[in-house]
Structure 1
Amino acid sequence: MTSRAPYASDPDQSRGREFTLESGGARGPRSVFQRDRDRIIHSIAFRRLRHKTQVFVAPDGDHYRVRLTHSLEVAQIGRVIARALGLDEDLTEALCLAHDIGHPPFGHAGEDALKAALADHGGFDHNANTLRVLMRLESPYIEHDGLNLTWEMLEGLAKHNGPVNAPLPWALAQLDAAFPLDLASHASLEAQVAAISDDIAYDNHDIDDGLRAGFLTLDDLLELPSLAAQWRAIETRYPGAPRDRLLRELVRGQIGVMVNDVLGETRARIAGNGVASVADVRAAGRALCGFSPEMQDQERVLKRFMYDRLYLHPVQVTTADAAREVIASLYAAYAADPALLPASWQARLGEDTTARARTIADYIAGMTDRFAIDQYTQVTGCVPDGLRNV
């Protein structure tokens, strides 16, 4: 077992939780970061990820990834990297599991619709919404709102894509005012590992799903020199093996190549910056966990390829348009007639126009794909077309 590195987050040195008056003590011999992870896993918001879009909207096939399975795969990659670097695996895992909780139904299409609906009320940002869900909306405890996660956990989620500078999304601005998260600095190495693990997971698992759906072909992939070289090596190593297994080996191998690259580059950056403590990580002024320049270039090419061939595929674009229409219609219906909302949500509306708009968005953002489709059908009397593209 790898020993704890001096620059790893230490649960015994946590900056604590927003609400300190929790009664009952810890249930079992768990660190504060283990408790964070467990609170995420037991939350309703986490369970809803099983019916939220990753790439394909409301897929009929059981083998396609959704936000939940993606988050589990990110956590697996994150734990491997964290263990190899001597970081806190529990904090890393918790960050990986929670990073997508703020996504509305239908992925980025749903986010675009909510952003447009709230244009006059501060807009909508899925990353800030992750914090809003975990700090205010998901409230199973009597003594406080939210899950009351540690400062290190919330900091890592807030800085999922690096330091956050003004102007802040309204939700994040409100939460940071209540529990300051030092948004202008880089986050812990555990948070940086979670972020790069997210990239590694979706870069490669989206290839797997794209192949399964027929949106991508092997010939498409072989246009990328890095993947073509790996494919030739795999064919040489396993002559005569079935193509479907070779393709899965290609995806697995690419994950391994990326993980090993991150480990080598991160160790070099830690050594080169003289990092010897958690404070040094935050004061480094740059991300310490990342790809080498060569792998960064390859990953950038891969992302462009995936946008051209998969994410912006004509079928995907048509489906995204239909998804935006569902969310926009739901928002318009609830805004025009709040009585359509459940009674518990009507009670939250208040009188202020902006607060009412944001409460409606909170309700919609928490929906799963299939619940949003059901609600649209109830509100409009029509079943939306074109929302299952595989």
Structure 2
Amino acid sequence: MARAPYASDPAHSRGREFTIEGSLSRGPRSDYQRDRDRIIHSIAFRRLRYKTQVFVAPDGDHYRVRLTHSLEVAQIARVIARAMNLDEDLAEALALAHDIGHAPFGHAGEDALNAALVHAGGFDHNAQSLRTLMRLESPYCEHDGLNLTWETLEGLAKHNGPVLDPGWALTELDAAYNLDLGSHASLEAQVAALSDDIAYDNHDIDDGLRAGFLNLDEVLAHPFVAQQWAAVEKRYPGVPRNRQLSELIRSQIGVMVNDLLEESARRLVGITSVDEVRQAGRQLIAFSPEVEEGERAFKRFMYEKLYFHPEQLETARRARALLAELYSAYSQDPVLMDEEWIDTLPRHEPERSRHIADYIAGMTDRFAIARHAEIYERTPEVLRNV
């Protein structure tokens, strides 16, 4: 398959932060394939299995978690990248790693750590993804971190566009290895970002209905999905409703992917290199104005009906309280942490507080719940909403 002139090329990568002399070649892989494999084999990636996507520590086996969501994003990203003759492996690596920096309990956990670190620069899950991959996850003898390519790190840092006001974590990493934060990222990074939107816009419908938090009639009447729902009913009359809903979600994903391909092709006219992508002054992977407007309206609907559902808000409150108490416990008595974290605890602030936050951010939902119960010798308020 011919590579588009504006696609990232592993043969012309800007390299890695740490150059290892005489490094072994383990199989016929490109640099971006190696990045993908390093991410998949990391402990941080495995922990996504027990981190919140929409629902905290769900009882049901069919609900999505950060790991399954990341796999779904990667599948969509590969489809788009292949259709556009971009580098599929880079798009996949970015999709798989995009949520690695999330704390337990999703955005509620992020809010708790941000509040706990208010004196130390705050906490941001996107910067934490970079911090985890570049410094904390260190399985190699020669260097800290996974030593991913510049293109993978850059894509994770600014997949949503240039970062003009980076927080402390991203500032430190950028000072050590310049990620050119003021420019746009590669097309592969932009593909991964919108694949994330496509995945959760549609798959969260499934989980929200399964949990009983979404009203089926309200979902199906929303303008963003109503046309596809009418087409599904016409095409499959009399088919059980659960199968029709699955068909709706597949159809809606297809509509969004096809629209993105058409709009992006229009925006890429005249773009002839990766450098032109980075200096374009706007995101080149995008939905049409009509689909973008509909998608934003649907997001507002989902926030009102699902993400800000009263039960969700109550669970988030409990999650924030639990992590705040964990942070307080470790701050007052750091020996409660695992031994390797005690041994590397900095003596001075703000590094000391950030180290404790790194420890908590790496926890899974269930590990955080278990450690809280162990430290406080009481069962925390129920942290399960489905």
Asked whether the two chains share a fold, i.e. TM above 0.5, the reply is yes
Tell me, what secondary structure is at the counterpart of 1:122? coil
Residue 23 of structure 1, CA deviation? 4.1
**Residue 212 of structure 1: CA displacement?**
0.8
Pairing 1:54-93 to 2, within 5 Å after superposition: 54-93=53-92
Q: Distance in 1 between matches of 2:155 and 2:144?
A: 20
Structure 1: how far apart are the matches of 2:334 and 2:225? 52
**What is the alpha-carbon distance in structure 2 between the residues aligned to residue 162 and residue 80 of structure 1?**
22
Determine if the alignment matches structure 1 residue 339 to structure 2 residue 335: yes
Query: Of 368, 374, 385, which aligns to 2:370?
Result: 374
Distance between the aligned counterparts of 1:280 and 1:171, measured in 2? 28
Q: How does 1:1-390 map to 2 (within 5 A)?
A: 2-21=1-20, 23-166=22-165, 168-271=166-269, 274-390=270-386
Deviations for 1:141-179, whole angstroms, at most 9, x for unmatched residues? 00000000000000000002211002x111100000000
Give the Å deviation of 1:138: 0.2
Structure 1 residue runs of 4 or more that deviate by more than 3 Å after TM superposition: none
How far is the alpha carbon of 1:384 from its aligned partner? 1.4
Give 1:31's aligned amino acid.
Answer: S
State the shift of 1:3 in Å.
1.9
Read off the aligned partner of 2:207 and give its amino acid letter: D
- Any idea what the Cα deviations from partners look like across 1:23-58, whole Å, max 9, x if unmatched? 432200000000000000000000000000000000
Aligned-residue CA RMSD in angstroms? 0.8
For 2:381 and 2:212, the matched residues in 1 are separated by 21
Are the aligned partners of 1:74 and 1:96 in contact in 2 as well (CA < 8 Å)? yes
* Deviation for aligned residue 1:223: 3.2
Q: CA deviation at 1:383?
A: 1.2
Note the C-alpha offset of 1:233. 1.1
Q: Which amino acid aligns with 2:232?
A: I
Partner Cα separation in structure 2 for residue 200 and residue 297 of structure 1:
14
State the secondary structure of the residue aligned to 1:353: coil
For the 8 Å contact 2:224–2:295, the answer to whether it is kept is no
Paired with 1:152 and 1:253, the residues of 2 have a C-alpha distance of: 32
Residue 197 of structure 1 aligns with an amino acid whose one-letter code is S
Contact 2:346 2:355 in 1 (8 A): no
C-alpha contact (below 8 Å) 1:17/1:149 kept by paired residues? yes
Shift of residue 22, structure 1, vs aligned partner: 5.1
Letter matched to residue 341 of structure 1: M
Q: State the AA in 1 paired with 2:148.
A: L
CA distance in 2, matches of 1:218, 1:228: 12
Work out the CA distance in 1 between the residues paired with 2:228 and 2:362.
41
Q: How much does 1:222 deviate?
A: 2.6
For residues 307-342 of structure 1, the C-alpha deviation after alignment (integer angstroms, 9 at most, x for no partner) is 000000000000000100111000000001111111
CA shift digits 1:334-375 (9 cap, x unpaired):
001111111211112121121110000000000000000000
Tell me: CA distance 1:268–1:347, structure 2 relative to 1, closer, same or farther (3 Å). Answer: same
* CA distance 1:22–1:366, shift in 2 (3 Å): farther
Amino acid at match of 1:263: L
Alpha-carbon distance in 2 for matches of 1:351, 1:226: 53
Secondary structure in 2 matching 1:18 = coil
CA contact (8 A) 1:22 1:143 kept: no
Compute the displacement of 1:386 (Å): 2.7
* Structure 1: tracts of 5 or more residues without a match: none
Q: Specify whether residues 244 and 22 from structure 1 end up closer, same or farther in structure 2 by C-alpha distance, changes over 3 A only.
A: farther
Q: State the alpha-carbon separation in 1 of the partners of residues 349 and 278 from structure 2.
A: 39
Q: Which amino acid aligns with 1:291?
A: F
Distance 2:276 2:85 in 1: 16
CA distance in structure 1 between the aligned counterparts of 2:273 and 2:138, rounded to whole angstroms: 34
Amino acid at match of 2:349: T
CA contact (8 A) 2:187 2:285 kept: yes
- Greater shift after overlay, 345-354 or 56-65? 345-354
Q: Distance in 2 between matches of 1:115 and 1:226?
A: 34
Q: What is the SS of the residue equivalent to 1:222?
A: helix
- How far apart, in 1, do the equivalents of 2:238 and 2:338 lie? 58
Q: TM-score, normalised by structure 1?
A: 0.98
- Aligned-partner Cα distance in 1 for 2:94–2:304: 30
Say which is worse superposed, 14-23 or 371-380, in terms of deviation.
14-23
Q: Percent identity?
A: 69
- The whole-number CA distance in structure 2 between the counterparts of 1:176 and 1:226 is 39
Opposite residue 115 of structure 1, the aligned amino acid is N
Unaligned runs of 5+ in 2: none
Q: How far did residue 291 of structure 1 move?
A: 0.5
Check whether the contact 1:334–1:341 (CA below 8 A) recurs between aligned residues.
yes
